Structure formats: C-alpha cells, structure tokens
Amino acid sequence: MTGDSFRPGTALGLAHRTVAVDPAPTPGGVGPEDPERQGPDRRLARTRGPRPGTGGLAPLGFAAAAYLGLALVVWWNVWSSHPSTVTTCGCGDTSLFTWFLEWPAYALAHGLDPLYATTLFHPGGVNLLANTGVVAIGFVLAPVTWMFGPVASLNVALTLAPALSSLAAFVLLRRWVMWAPAAFAGGLLYGFSPFVLTGLTDSHLMIGMAAVPPLVVLALDELLIRQRRRPGRVGVVLGLLLAVQFFVGTEVLVITVAFAAFGCALVAATGAVRHRSHLDAIRPRVRHAALGLAAAAAVAGALLSYPTWFALAGPAHLSGLIWPGAHLSYGGMPFADYVRSSRPDPALAAFAHRVGGYQGPTYFGPAVGWGVVVVAVGGLAAFPRDRRLWLFGTVGVVAVVLARGSELHGWTPWRLFAGLPLVENVIPSRLLVVVDLAAAVMVAVTVDHARTSLRRRGVPWAGTLIGTTLATLAVVPLALARAPGLPFTTQTVVLPHWFAQVAPRLPGHQVLLVFPVPWASIQSAMTWQAVDGMHYAMVGGGGPGGVPSRAGQERAGQAVLARASFSFEGQKLHRGDIGAVRRALHGWGVTMVVIPQQPGLPSYDQVQSTPFAVAVVTAATGRAPRLQADAWVWSDVDHAGTAPSIAPSDVVRCARTAGTPGTAVVRSVAECVLAASRVPR
C-alpha cells in the first residue's frame, strides 16, 4: 500500500487501505471492482511504505520521550526543587488527593482494607470507591509513597498523567495515520488539553489521568472494524481497560462507556444501511464483534461486581446526588468557551488562594481553540469520503451539545440524561474528554490526508509543508493561550510543628478534631495527616463526604465548627450551638482538639479567627487549652460529663475583645469563656 494513503474501508471506513486484493466484496463494500482499488494508486500501494502503525518502536519511543519532556516542563517547579515536599500546595483538593494516595500504601503496609478507612471521617469512615479515590494510581505508586511520601507520589502522578494520556492517543492514532507527526500532534492536543491541564492544577487525577479512553477506542476498532486478532483476547483486554478506568475514575468510565456505545451504534447502523443488500456477508463480522464484546463484558463483570457493590452499597457509600443541592447546570460548558479566552474573576481567584485552591494564575483559556475547529471542519470539507471524520465529528458534536448542561430556564438535551442513575453525578463539562479525543482524531487524520494528497501528486515537500502547517495551526493557538501560566505554580507543603513533633508520639488510639476543619473550604488537615503517616484518626474530611446533609446526628455541631473555622457569616453563635458542638464531639469520639497557631503558616492553613475558634471549643469542652508546639491543644476531651452552660453572646463577646491574637490574648479568651460558664448542679 502507499505509505500515505487511506480510504474508507470495512464496516464504516475506519481502517486504512490494505495491499491485498479481496477476492470478493468485503463487508465494507470494497472489492476488486472498487474504483478506489484500481489504477495508479493500486500499483503504488504495492511498492511504497509500511502500513499505519507499523513504523517500528522508534516513533513510539520518540513520542513517549517528547510527551514526558513536555510534562516535566509543565511541572518544572516541582522537579527543579524538592518533589517530596513541593507540589501545587498541601491544601484544597490537592490535600484530598494526597490523602487518597497515602491510604492504599498505608493499608498495604499494615494489612488494612485499601478501599475503606476510618482514619478519616471517624467513626463512619470513608469509602474510596464512592469518592474520587484513584485507587489504581495509589496502588501502582505505593512503592514511591513508602520511600518518599505521598507528596512525591502525587507529583509523579501529576507528571505522568498528561504524558500517558498523550501517548495512549498517539498509539490509537498511529493505527489510522501513516505520518507520525500527525499522530504526535493529535496526542498532544488530547493529553495536554486545557481539560486535562486545568484539572491537574487541582490534582484532579480522576479526570487528568485520561489514558484509558483512547485505548478503549483502539480495542473497539479492532473488534468492530479490523478484526485481525482473536475476538476473545481483544475482549479480555477491553474488559481489563474498563476495570482499570473504574479504579482511576468512575465518572470518566461512565462517560467512556456511554459514548463508546453511541459510537458502536453509529458504526452498526451505518454498516447495516450500506450492506443491506448482502447482510449474510457481514454476519461473520457481527459474530466476531459480539464474541469480543461478550468477553469484555464477562471480564469487566467478574472484576467489577464486588467493587461496584462496594461503591454503591458498601460501608460509608454515598447515595443519590454526590453534591446535593447543586443545580444540574453545575459545570456546564458554554459553546463560546470552546474558542474564546475569558478573563478570570479576581474575586474568585482571591477566594481560591485564601482557602487553598490552585495558587497560580487562574486559567480561563479556550477549551478547544479556533485552530482545532478550523482544521477539523476543513478536514470534513476536503475529505468527505473518510468516514472516520464523520464518525468522530458526530460524536464530538453530540458531546459538545450535552456538555452545555442544563440551564435554569429553557430546555437542553442534557435534561434527558441528568436524572439517570450514575449519570446524575456526571459534571457536564467533563464530557470534554470525549470532545478532546474526537478533535485529536479529526486533526490527526486531516493532517495526514493533506500530506498524503500532495505526496501522491509528486510533491512530497509540499505535502510535508502543508501537514506541518495544519498541525501547527491546531496546536499553537492553544499553546500560546496556556503558556503564560506555565510552568505551574507550586508551594512547599508545610507540616505544622505540632504534627511533625507531637503527633508521631501520640499514645494509643487518638481521635482528633483538627482546625481548620477539613469540611469547611480549607482542607489542609488531610495533607497533615497523610504526610504525618496516619498516626491518628481524624473526624470529618473533604470532598462530598463533608456535605452537611451527610453528617447525621452531628450535623448541627459540624455546622457550628465550620463557622468557627472559616465562614462568610463572621463570628455568630445561636442558642443551642455550644451544646450541638459538645454532642458532635461525643458522637465522633473526639479525644483531642488541635488548633495550630504557628507564625508563617500560609493563609490556607489557618482558621479565620483563632480567638473565636478557641472560644467555641473552650465553651464546648469546659476546659482551657494548653499551648504545645505552636498549637492550642485540648487533651483527654471529656464530652460525656456535665456540660457547662454559657450564653452564645458571652462566647462571642470574649472572642471579640481579644485584639491581636497573640498567645496572651488567646489565653485571656479561654479564661473569659470559663469565667462566664456555669456548671449546672
């Protein structure tokens, strides 16, 4: 075959031109009488170039090295400093994922359940499969965690995520295009897309590690289109891929399965229409595909039956909406944002920096970029006979429409699916993983076609030039939009003195209430627990488990503690609040309360008002704290004895008369609260 030519082939025209002449019409409707197989192209096909994807390991190795090099540039501020102590920050969602990476390593080392832990959200615990626990990544990186700690594992995962995602797309695209640079550009657009990189700034590995979807498409292409390998083996691989994605991120798994089914339906429908006159000829192909899909379902079912039950009905599982109260339009993607950049909201950025979001410049660049749109649409216009472009164009457009989400007024297509089980918890904008993969395929195929068409005309240099120009047009606008925010901003993970010096020597089983409480915007306490080696259990946590409606009988006390940690309401207490805190401490089994007051801690590691937090805890426990290693500590918390009585107004008064919150002032706050308290007889 020609090294640069492709044609619509087999069932939907997704495979490349083959060398051999078929003795009879194939299910794709291409036989020896097909005009596309005659003339100069047929003779040229026998003398020039390898088939797509047969260029040896050199292109794969080069692509892998290049993607990894680019990932190192993105995370240069990590790898040029101390990757075991420096990352985006030990705060926000990054704190949650640091904890998620530590727990599997800790559990394996101590013979505990890696899927469930009571060291967080004590005593109810946390179900990693019902959360974004990225258990597969935690397992694979456990040796790194054992040797260098969870921050190092997080940095390894953040660096490998775009590189592996790009490489997976490259492997898929090399199956369809001959020119390796075309596949490289497509892989770059997918793995280093704004969707992936923006997710990684908050350490959202469940969406940033997007290597599985392209490999699922590759397996489906083999089962439905090429059919050169045994269907059972391909089905097993497909089932394993689905299982891996389950343990990386179930949201992307749901999206992948849904759109894979949609794509397969398009392939089947188009094939049936094109070959309705000789359906008997395609029955062997249908049988081949069915065997492979059945094998995939069997393998995935066997591997995921128990994990699926564990996620949906196991201990500490989350029922219904993951984020109750969130409107269906949450996370929707406006159409204009695919090609335009918008200025970040300064107030939003300031809030994120205060509570522990990404500490660098907030990125609101285009989701796809005008260059990608131009190349993709131009490819459809210039090469309308390539059904790969139509297939992925259709899938991409459907994903764009659904990613719009649901608006408060008016009807959108997403409303058809938003209430379905599992789908109800999909954030619409995360359908961008499908949009990006479809765009990557269309760009790579278009670039390869453009180069091939000119090379056929005897001007190979012009083919290379036009291919390079189109690839540059697709990639460069996105790169320029993202460049000002690269390399990513990083911070040193600060472990407060008390957690570094005292926590590792705590006696027995200690249950800590740590301020800032991790369910009230600031989540640094989870990083402290993970880096500290899980020497204690902690009440509460970040993520959907911290939603007030899931707090049970401790809900009222949890809300008061949230206000004492960080709140827009200011220093307010209502009748019954102190009693609610005391009951929450008892229900959680808290033995110690710790409020760091260490000079130099980042703002996202501090409570909003130390005097107010100290006043609330002192009133609830009836005891004054002691200063230990730059932290206010209540030990041997007695939450079962006689409760002191104090008016909420007195607690607020004591906290507000504090002035500058130095050590002496905080002591005076505790003394004021105790003086105003009355112990009932």
- In the chain, % of residues over pLDDT 90: 67
Report phi then psi at 477, rounded to 5.
Answer: -55, -40
Amino acid 20: pLDDT: 34
**Are residues 63 and 136 located together in one domain of the fold?**
yes
Amino acid 656: pLDDT: 85
**Are residues 270 and 208 located together in one domain of the fold?**
yes
In terms of Cα–Cα distance, which of 648, 639, 576, 575 is closest to 612?
Answer: 648
Instruction: Check pLDDT > 50 for residue 481.
Output: yes
Cα(429)–Cα(414) distance, rounded to whole angstroms?
Answer: 11
**Are residues 462 and 564 located together in one domain of the fold?**
no
Cα(574)–Cα(652) distance, rounded to whole angstroms?
Answer: 10
Give 679's pLDDT tier (boundaries 50, 70, 90).
Answer: low
Kindly give the pairing relationship between strand 626-627 and strand 511-514.
unpaired
Report phi then psi at 91, rounded to 5.
Answer: -150, 175
In terms of Cα–Cα distance, which of 92, 138, 100 is closest to 119?
Answer: 100
Name the token pair of 566: 């960080």
Amino acid 660: pLDDT: 67
Higher-confidence position of 361 and 16:
361
- 636 SS3 class: coil
**Are residues 348 and 464 located together in one domain of the fold?**
yes
In terms of Cα–Cα distance, which of 362, 361, 355, 360 is closest to 602?
Answer: 355
Q: Is residue 374 part of a domain?
A: yes
State pLDDT tens for residues 577-604.
Answer: 999 999 999 999 999 999 999 988 999 9
Show the domain range for 521.
497-676
Name the token pair of 68: 């990894």
Domain boundary among the residues 434, 456, 485 is at: 485
How many other CB atoms are there within 10 angstroms of residue 662's CB atom?
13
Q: Which amino acid is at 298?
A: A
Higher-confidence position of 185 and 324:
185
Higher-confidence position of 444 and 549:
444
**Are residues 239 and 273 located together in one domain of the fold?**
yes
Q: Is residue 186 part of a domain?
A: yes
User: What are the beta bridge partners of residue 87?
Assistant: 491
Instruction: Check pLDDT > 80 for residue 113.
Output: yes
How many other CB atoms are there within 10 angstroms of residue 28's CB atom?
24
**Are residues 107 and 205 located together in one domain of the fold?**
yes
Span 447-470, mean pLDDT? 89
Give 526's pLDDT tier (boundaries 50, 70, 90).
Answer: very high
Cα(516)–Cα(561) distance, rounded to whole angstroms?
Answer: 9
Report phi then psi at 263, rounded to 5.
Answer: -65, -40
Q: Is residue 8 part of a domain?
A: no
Higher-confidence position of 250 and 45:
250
Instruction: Check pLDDT > 50 for residue 616.
Output: yes
Cα(431)–Cα(61) distance, rounded to whole angstroms?
Answer: 30
Do 669 and 654 form a contact (C-beta atoms < 8 A)? yes
The secondary structure of residue 678, as a DSSP letter, is B
**Are residues 399 and 539 located together in one domain of the fold?**
no
Higher-confidence position of 514 and 411:
514
Kindly give the pairing relationship between strand 537-538 and strand 511-514.
parallel
Domain boundary among the residues 450, 485, 520 is at: 485
Amino acid 629: pLDDT: 95
- 86 SS3 class: strand
Amino acid 456: pLDDT: 82
Amino acid 502: pLDDT: 96
Amino acid 17: pLDDT: 38
Kindly give the pairing relationship between strand 491-492 and strand 86-87.
antiparallel
Span 481-494, mean pLDDT? 91
Higher-confidence position of 39 and 363:
363
- Supply the mean pLDDT for the chain: 87
Instruction: Check pLDDT > 90 for residue 495.
Output: yes
Instruction: Check pLDDT > 80 for residue 108.
Output: yes
Q: Is residue 2 part of a domain?
A: no
Q: Where are the beta strands (DSSP E) in 442-591?
A: 491-492, 511-514, 537-538
Domain boundary among the residues 436, 453, 485 is at: 485
Name the token pair of 93: 């969602």
**Are residues 441 and 506 located together in one domain of the fold?**
no
Higher-confidence position of 262 and 15:
262
Q: What secondary structure does DSSP assign to 337-403, as a single string?
A: GGT---PPPHHHHHHHHHHTS--SPPP---SS-HHHHHHHHHHHHH-TT-HHHHHHHHHHHHHHHHT
- Residues listed for the chain: 681
State pLDDT tens for residues 295-313.
Answer: 999 999 999 999 999 999 9
User: What are the beta bridge partners of residue 632?
Assistant: 595, 627
pTM: 0.90
Amino acid 640: pLDDT: 58
Cα(230)–Cα(601) distance, rounded to whole angstroms?
Answer: 59
Buried b (16+ CB within 10 A) or exposed e, 65-101: ebbbebbeebbebbbeeebbbbbbbbbbbbbbbbbbb
Higher-confidence position of 197 and 347:
197
Report phi then psi at 400, rounded to 5.
Answer: -60, -45
Give 454's pLDDT tier (boundaries 50, 70, 90).
Answer: confident
Q: Is residue 61 part of a domain?
A: yes
Residue 659: Cβ-neighbour burial (10 angstroms; 0-12, 13-18, 19+): exposed
Name the token pair of 422: 């599992």
State pLDDT tens for residues 334-374.
Answer: 888 899 887 777 877 888 888 888 888 877 678 899 999 99
**Are residues 558 and 619 located together in one domain of the fold?**
yes
Amino acid 332: pLDDT: 81
Q: How many domains does the chain have?
A: 2
Amino acid 572: pLDDT: 87
State pLDDT tens for residues 377-428.
Answer: 999 999 999 999 999 999 999 999 999 887 656 778 888 888 888 888 899 9
Amino acid 283: pLDDT: 85
Amino acid 401: pLDDT: 93
Q: Is residue 410 part of a domain?
A: yes
Report phi then psi at 596, rounded to 5.
Answer: -65, 140
State pLDDT tens for residues 123-169.
Answer: 999 999 999 999 999 999 999 999 999 999 999 999 999 999 999 99
Q: Is residue 17 part of a domain?
A: no
Amino acid 14: pLDDT: 44
Cα(440)–Cα(190) distance, rounded to whole angstroms?
Answer: 6
Amino acid 204: pLDDT: 96
Do 189 and 345 form a contact (C-beta atoms < 8 A)? no
Cβ neighbours for 565, distance < 8 A, ≥ 6 positions apart = 515, 516, 517, 520, 522, 607, 608, 613
- 511 SS3 class: strand
**Are residues 382 and 478 located together in one domain of the fold?**
yes
Higher-confidence position of 23 and 347:
347
Span 216-239, mean pLDDT? 96
Amino acid 643: pLDDT: 66
**Are residues 344 and 445 located together in one domain of the fold?**
yes
Cβ neighbours for 45, distance < 8 A, ≥ 6 positions apart = 1, 2, 5, 17, 19
Cα(568)–Cα(346) distance, rounded to whole angstroms?
Answer: 17
Give 22's pLDDT tier (boundaries 50, 70, 90).
Answer: very low
Report phi then psi at 308, rounded to 5.
Answer: -65, -45
Span 207-219, mean pLDDT? 97
The radius of gyration computed from the CA coordinates of the chain, to the nearest angstrom, equals 29
Cβ neighbours for 407, distance < 8 A, ≥ 6 positions apart = 329, 332
Amino acid 36: pLDDT: 37
**Are residues 548 and 572 located together in one domain of the fold?**
yes
CA 552 → CA 567, 583, 588, 645, distances in Å?
21, 12, 11, 24
Q: Is residue 106 part of a domain?
A: yes
State pLDDT tens for residues 45-94.
Answer: 333 434 565 557 889 999 999 999 999 999 999 999 999 999 999 999 99
Q: What secondary structure does DSSP assign to 198-239, as a single string?
A: HHHHTT-HHHH---HHHHHHHHHHIIIII--S-HHHHHHHHH
